[in-house]
A and B are shown apart, each in its own frame.
Chain A
């Protein structure tokens, strides 16, 4: 059975003062039906660009330069906007990081939830309103009838993110792209939103592409994980494998920067340095300048994704030389 979404060789560039520069390069991954894939990395490593490329909602200075995005076997790259619009909000839905600003302040909640139903299902005002109330109940909002008649500014951040999820769920999407859905929320609300997403995924048999920088969220939610660094996939595999046997030094750095209760260390461990900017990408491994194990080879030559095991790859020369030793 082929994957629900298959991204291969995806390169998306942005127009800068020095021409088109790639923000993500040669990105490959697949999402199976019913699977939750985590995409992890720090800010600026290309997670959001990847998701916006799939939705084809890049800002006007960005464009997909190479690669293919197959959704249910259908090529999305180069698809006409009118055809892409039939997929957006219908087969693929998206929720965003900022629930506070992601809802239109001048439209009522019910209208905003019902909109995709009016667009894709041809429902009229009353039908879509009724369905919106049902969706509000589905995402656990109390007094759904009243809330449907409220404007967004009367709702808290957590409530608004529930509304965003209701909007996304409206047309029963096959794939939900969640771009840092809990980053802007309190920890207790985060847990509630993640629970809700897990519940909906099980009920509706949809796939989720979960973008986050929080490995705790990945451990809780995902089946497989793709670690991105500076616009490239640096490691991917099953969540269990990656947590047990992280291979790329960047993944190891990310994992060791999670604070643990039992440790009595004074300082949190962190990865020194920053993600290189797209204007000054190093020739070799992009992580070399921050890597504790970097050699001359790393600086000169970029490794490709090397297999650690059958379902686990890492973009690091260490795999090649010593298997999984770090």
Chain B
């Protein structure tokens, strides 16, 4: 188990290296000069060249990459071109807000999706299942920004229950979290329904019933732990997708997190910030996947690591 985790983390370093090269190359291959973006379109060419030199942009790309990685190994992600702050500071300031939002979104997804999936499986093809299916279909079909704006309008503006946007305490997380959860919960409920239906018709469920187990015991003690495995896989993918989703949601709700930072960095060609946020997100996603793989072994004893 320990050696498995170490090997997976070794693999993660290789993934990070690959992502860093790709992001670095793409960021500098766009047909726009970061120096020109900083000094503005009407500044004299001499100034652009001076800024180029200042930022080290006059050196060949491979050397710049090696320098960047050298700094990275020493925990230095460079200075933002635009915000005049170390990238590590920028990420540090925002990571908490995004983590809170992502966690809230994920928990809400599970809270909505898992019971819906169980109910759909237990009441398969009954009216309650049809209602759940319809809700799921609606949830999957709606675009995130639309759900976000509707929630903002009805709950934030008309009912005035929650703030329409901005960053602050717990109240500011609910609407953006719910926005993501409404569109994402359906995947969990569909997945769980399919796997629970499968499990509920299996021989060992019949054995449990033959022991005199109550329906609740059959579902929660016997079926759910077997049925949850596909949802667990999706959970890993979903957390990765959350980072993408959060970018849009942060933008819609004016929530100042990593997503907003990344979006601004891209429009400003602020390469160190782009690199920093992308690498941070990648490291997180890779880590989550290792955690999910380890969780498999805990949920399903048949899976062993060697």
**A-to-B contact residues, CB < 8 Å:** 55, 57, 59, 81, 85-90, 93-94, 96, 98, 101-107, 115-116, 119-120, 151, 153, 164, 167
Contact = CB atoms under 8 A, between A and B. Distances in A.
Contacts of A94: 210
Given A105-B301, A106-B300, A151-B301, A57 B204 contact: no
28 contacts: A57-B209, A81-B215, A87-B212, A88-B209, A88-B211, A89-B211, A93-B211, A96-B210, A98-B203, A101-B203, A101-B204, A102-B206, A104-B204, A105-B301, A105-B302, A106-B225, A106-B226, A106-B301, A107-B222, A115-B208, A115-B211, A116-B212, A119-B213, A120-B212, A151-B301, A153-B302, A164-B207, A167-B211
A227 B226 CA distance: 39
Contact of A102 (B201, B203, B212, B299): B203
B54 to A, nearest CB: 60
B212 A57 contact: no
A163 B203 CA distance: 15
Interface of B: 201-204, 206-215, 217, 222, 225-226, 299-302
B212 A86 contact: yes
Given A101-B203, A104-B226, A105-B226, A89 B301 contact: no
A86 to B, nearest CB: 7
Given A89-B211, A89-B212, A167-B211, A96 B301 contact: no
B211 A105 contact: no
6 A-B pairs closest in CB distance: A89-B211, A89-B212, A88-B212, A101-B203, A116-B211, A151-B301
A103 B201 CA distance: 13
A104 B301 contact: no
B207 A153 contact: no
Contacts of A102: 203-204, 206-207
A208 to B, nearest CB: 15
Contacts of B204: 101-105
A115 B213 contact: yes
A123 to B, nearest CB: 13
Contacts of B210: 55, 57, 88-89, 93-94, 96
Nearest to B199: A104
B212 A90 contact: yes
Nearest to B208: A104
Contacts of A90: 212
Contacts of B212: 85-90, 116, 119-120
Contacts of B302: 105, 151, 153
A41 B14 CA distance: 62
Contacts of A96: 203, 206-207, 210
A52 to B, nearest CB: 9
Contacts of B217: 119
Contacts of A153: 301-302
Nearest to B301: A151
A202 to B, nearest CB: 23
Nearest to A119: B212
A324 B203 CA distance: 43
Most A CB contacts (10 A, CB to CB) among B208, B209, B210, B214 go to B210
A90 B213 CA distance: 11
A319 B302 CA distance: 57
A86 B213 CA distance: 9
A101 to B, nearest CB: 4
A183 to B, nearest CB: 14
Contacts of A164: 207
Nearest to A91: B212
A106 B201 CA distance: 16
A69 to B, nearest CB: 16
A104 B222 contact: yes
Nearest to A108: B301
Given A103-B207, A106-B299, A153-B302, 10 more contacts: A93-B210, A94-B210, A98-B203, A101-B203, A102-B204, A104-B208, A106-B301, A119-B211, A119-B217, A164-B207
Most B CB contacts (10 A, CB to CB) among A59, A103, A105 go to A105
Contacts of B211: 88-89, 93, 115-116, 119, 167
B213 A101 contact: no
A164 B207 CA distance: 9
A102 B206 CA distance: 8
A44 B299 CA distance: 37
Contact of B214 (A55, A85, A116): A85
Contacts of A87: 212
A32 to B, nearest CB: 23
Nearest to B228: A106
Nearest to A120: B212
Contacts of B225: 106
A246 B221 CA distance: 48
Nearest to A151: B301
Nearest to B124: A60
A270 B274 CA distance: 77
Contacts of A98: 203
A115 B221 CA distance: 11
A93 B203 CA distance: 15
Contacts of B203: 96, 98, 101-102
